[in-house]
Chain A
């Protein structure tokens, strides 16, 4: 009775065993790496901010017994480039009583040489003098402002033998400002160029102020930034801007406290007298350079302060209305198009890719047009650039009046530029000479007395959209240099356009420039190694320049840029004037095409 039943059960056991084998085979298949599947899309990390670059730290060596005075000086100079530990190791090179005070932002003398080569000048049994000759490039002040000051310098160190075979520095150099002596490589490694933001005198826009901060510790960068912001603009920019923070406002606590992505800035009670809205705007724009901060809150003496109409915790991207370039989010409703001199010399606009004359007839030929921001007036130059011309009311304008004729024979004018207060700026320049002219609306041109580039030939001048800074192409020693100046007004309204700082000398043959945005210039120029003039993006912070697109037919001669809008270039190809733009405005390296007949493109803003 049991035998048949067992016989019928056996196949089911076999089936079960087979099933088990199949399941285990399937399970092992699960353990392998998939060879197919759906496409997963993501967003690449945005590492645009310079502060997020990995930084390299120099690891100093303690002084070793038996080192000669020259070696001690070398070791000291290397060790002083190590910022993380507050130059702790460098102090070991000093004799105990040698005073060497450094703040968190020490003054730095920048040397051009990669290595220090100290020489022993005098040496007795107990005393030694070590001299260091080198090429100074410039200096960073305690406020973080870098000023170029190239010259040859010699500094000397006094050393004393403290124990047999052990030399220590007793006298630091007294020449110039006492601070750190670093090579350019050290500065590149240990410093970061960051922007502080201050208000224009009319408090309507923010102005970036580039400073060099030692990157001692990435975590404390926010604290350093806020401290630098509270201590005010650098000496270069301070006449031209205002800070919303009352004097003597301090950062309280251990610094900026960053919890996850929310930063807390606790400032002292002096700030209660300031405008929380503008203080928030300054802090917001300054802190947004650090990618780890997404939101922040302002505290004054421990109490959270919320500006009117804002939450206590503010997103870092707020306060767009004070943007240095103007409030883009409002004005970008219509995509901005350039205007230019079209065929027959008519001032034309661009609509759906076609040239469209803005004025019907123009009795006078005009080059380098510039339309006022309120579009009430348009300025330009006569074709020989000896006269500044102006036409009132853009549409249907028939008359052109000559505003200014060159004062010096042989001199000529740079392209006119409007600031956002509808002031017209133009530089009259000759070889090794230049004059700055300014015209308020309805008034004649006036020469600016305080003009820092008076002794140089100026090829181009553009006032930034914040109205405070101005970028210029200056000829220095037969080479062009991009420089950045600021326009300050004193109490009587007198204009000070004195100090211009070099931004870049990489382009030996710069022709024209335009502000791409508040931190970047679009410059037409030629690198030393290249033969053709090409458009480049030049950051005003002094970082490396980068080319814009490639493969331009003809010779570029003018450039127009605007935030978030494509860059336009006017070129001359034989006898044709063509206006070029990049095929894809978003891609920095896309090809140029030149579909428009015309010249001298420019943007309203």
Chain B
């Protein structure tokens, strides 16, 4: 039984804690959402501050009004009460003057008082005969003697000594001997006539009721007023905020590249001027961007044209050079034969440069098309490695393959991916300093990746980006020994992007570099991640010196 209670207790405690946590989370969520709205919306800010400020103002105004009304009411009541008391005192004095010296006087005064006390509830009368020590007075309708405060009695007692006043008034509580009759707040006025002290006690129930009604009305009207003000503020801010919001949206769309975006111009006010200037700016921007685009189009066209135009003479030169090369042994001067060889090699280089230029100009013109088919990436890797095997052997590098056991099928353009891999391998061999080159392939549900790792000089910080620039060289002083055109990595990246894939580089000086190609399995699908890490395992101990290059950024 105790165990069960403990369990229950713990369960309850756990539930409570969970509930508290949930509650706190909800509250925090709401607060955060509100704060966000507060930060984001000028309208919310204006309406809230209007609400707060107008509430304060209305509260102050209401309190002031209430004060004024209640003081006016009480003033009027006091005036009435004093008038009533004066009349009563005059009646008592008349009675004193007319009736006999003793005996019936008190009774006649009390009877007169009873006749005058008015309908019960309007006011009570309390009269004291100071000469009769056996009676504390007579009161109407079960009035308790404690209803007349001592301070008022003391004040009236002094009235005999100094005749500057004969009446006094104060506020107090009307108490009744009947326990079921609740005490009432009231105005108590008292006066002296001969041996009699006469008190009139006016319940302030009616005034209280009036004040309650006034208070309720004030609160209601105040609330409505505050809400109205808030609504007005909301309306006014809307008039300002909506054009501003429209302008912001326009600017956003403009920034997103929709240069034809314009704002509607309505009226002649400041907002209209803002819209006009915005539109002017947009128009200018569109003009300038159009001009620039035209210009680059012209340039690209020029490059493409030049490449094409160069091809025809090059073919002729090539035929001539081939002939010269074939007959190089026939030249007497061995230096001429050497020149023919040089011409041959430089012509080959020139041709490949021209082909690369054409390729890249095709990319620039957006004319590159993807000829996708489903292939096993491992086959492509093997073929690329086979192609560059001789070069690697010449350099003294060994290509290590890390391939998965199962096929890595992907929808890719075989030619382009082979070119990328070739480029990467050639690049790795060239900068590999004779060390091993590791080629790893991996695949997951959405993507395949190929990483080419060398252990050469590596990349300096910032060079990870620059390797893909056109005609960029790690060491400008180095000779172009292996026919690299300087456009290979650039074209490779364009090809990767054409697939919707990534081509990224990582490098560290002295450690080497790694290039990773990630491709979606289905052509054109969005790539979310890569099956291989960009930084090779065991190398990324120091701070990562890679640049995430994502397509679309």
B139 in contact with A56 (CB, 8 Å): yes
Chain B CB count within 10 A is highest, among A45, A79, A85, A217, for A217
Q: Which residues of A have CB within 8 Å of B181?
A: 219
Residue of A nearest to B110 (CB): A56
In the complex with contacts A54-B114, A84-B178, A218-B141, A59-B103 CB distance below 8 A: no
B103 in contact with A218 (CB, 8 Å): no
In the complex with contacts A53-B114, A58-B135, A217-B178, A45-B103 CB distance below 8 A: no
- Closest chain-A Cβ to B180's Cβ sits at a distance in Å of 6
With A and B bound together, what is the CA distance between A55 and B106 in angstroms? 16
With A and B bound together, what is the CA distance between A61 and B130 in angstroms? 12
Secondary structure at chain A's binding surface: helix, strand, loop or mixed?
mixed
B114 in contact with A57 (CB, 8 Å): no
- Interface size of A by Cβ–Cβ distance < 8 Å? 29
A47 in contact with B119 (CB, 8 Å): yes
In the complex with contacts A114-B103, A219-B180, A57-B118 CB distance below 8 A: no
- Closest chain-B Cβ to A186's Cβ sits at a distance in Å of 9
Chain B residues within CB distance 8 Å of chain A? 102-104, 106-107, 110-111, 113-114, 117-120, 126, 133-143, 145, 177-178, 180-181, 268
Q: Is A147's CB within 8 Å of the partner chain B?
A: no
Q: Is A185's CB within 8 Å of the partner chain B?
A: yes
4 smallest beta-carbon distances between A and B, as pairs: A59-B136, A185-B107, A78-B134, A84-B177
Q: Is A588's CB within 8 Å of the partner chain B?
A: no
- Closest chain-A Cβ to B264's Cβ sits at a distance in Å of 21
B106 in contact with A114 (CB, 8 Å): yes
A59 in contact with B135 (CB, 8 Å): yes
**Partner pick for A61 among B117, B118, B135, B140, CB 8 A cutoff:** B135
* Chain A 193-252 residues near chain B, CB threshold 8 A: 217-219
**Partner pick for B142 among A2, A84, A113, A114, CB 8 A cutoff:** A84
A218 in contact with B142 (CB, 8 Å): yes
- Closest chain-A Cβ to B218's Cβ sits at a distance in Å of 15
With A and B bound together, what is the CA distance between A2 and B181 in angstroms? 75
**Partner pick for B119 among A45, A61, A217, CB 8 A cutoff:** A45
Q: Is A423's CB within 8 Å of the partner chain B?
A: no
Residue of B nearest to A63 (CB): B134
- Closest chain-B Cβ to A224's Cβ sits at a distance in Å of 14
Q: Is A71's CB within 8 Å of the partner chain B?
A: yes
Q: Is A75's CB within 8 Å of the partner chain B?
A: yes
In the complex with contacts A54-B119, A84-B177, A114-B104, A189-B110 CB distance below 8 A: yes
A56 in contact with B140 (CB, 8 Å): yes
With A and B bound together, what is the CA distance between A133 and B126 in angstroms? 31
**Partner pick for B136 among A45, A47, A60, A185, CB 8 A cutoff:** A60
Q: Is A115's CB within 8 Å of the partner chain B?
A: yes
- Closest chain-A Cβ to B366's Cβ sits at a distance in Å of 50
A219 in contact with B114 (CB, 8 Å): no
With A and B bound together, what is the CA distance between A55 and B143 in angstroms? 10
Q: Is A74's CB within 8 Å of the partner chain B?
A: yes
Q: Which residues of B have CB within 8 Å of A78?
A: 134-135
Q: Which residues of B have CB within 8 Å of A45?
A: 119
With A and B bound together, what is the CA distance between A84 and B138 in angstroms? 13
The 29 listed contacts between A and B (C-beta, < 8 Å) are A52-B120, A54-B114, A54-B120, A55-B114, A55-B140, A56-B110, A56-B114, A56-B117, A56-B138, A57-B141, A59-B135, A59-B136, A59-B137, A59-B139, A60-B135, A60-B136, A61-B135, A75-B134, A79-B134, A114-B104, A114-B106, A114-B107, A189-B114, A189-B138, A217-B142, A217-B178, A218-B120, A218-B142, A219-B181
Residue of A nearest to B103 (CB): A114
- Closest chain-B Cβ to A86's Cβ sits at a distance in Å of 10
A61-B133, A84-B178 given; 9 more Cβ-contact pairs under 8 Å: A53-B114, A54-B114, A57-B140, A58-B138, A71-B134, A85-B177, A114-B106, A188-B111, A218-B120
With A and B bound together, what is the CA distance between A52 and B141 in angstroms? 11
Q: Which residues of B have CB within 8 Å of A54?
A: 114, 117-120, 140-141
With A and B bound together, what is the CA distance between A115 and B132 in angstroms? 10
- Closest chain-A Cβ to B102's Cβ sits at a distance in Å of 8
Chain B CB count within 10 A is highest, among A2, A54, A79, for A54
With A and B bound together, what is the CA distance between A61 and B103 in angstroms? 20
Residue of B nearest to A53 (CB): B114
Cβ proximity bits A35-76 to B, threshold 8 Å, 1 near / 0 not: 000000000010100001111111111000000000100110
B134 in contact with A57 (CB, 8 Å): no
In the complex with contacts A114-B106, A189-B110, A217-B178, A57-B143 CB distance below 8 A: yes
- Closest chain-A Cβ to B121's Cβ sits at a distance in Å of 10
Q: Which residues of B have CB within 8 Å of A114?
A: 103-104, 106-107
With A and B bound together, what is the CA distance between A484 and B102 in angstroms? 35
Cβ proximity bits A179-196 to B, threshold 8 Å, 1 near / 0 not: 000000100110000000
Residue of B nearest to A64 (CB): B133
Residue of A nearest to B133 (CB): A61
Q: Which residues of B have CB within 8 Å of A58?
A: 135, 138
A61 in contact with B134 (CB, 8 Å): yes
Q: Which residues of B have CB within 8 Å of A189?
A: 110, 114, 138
Residue of A nearest to B128 (CB): A59
With A and B bound together, what is the CA distance between A470 and B119 in angstroms? 36
Residue of B nearest to A2 (CB): B268
Residue of B nearest to A47 (CB): B119
- Closest chain-B Cβ to A471's Cβ sits at a distance in Å of 28
- Closest chain-A Cβ to B221's Cβ sits at a distance in Å of 14
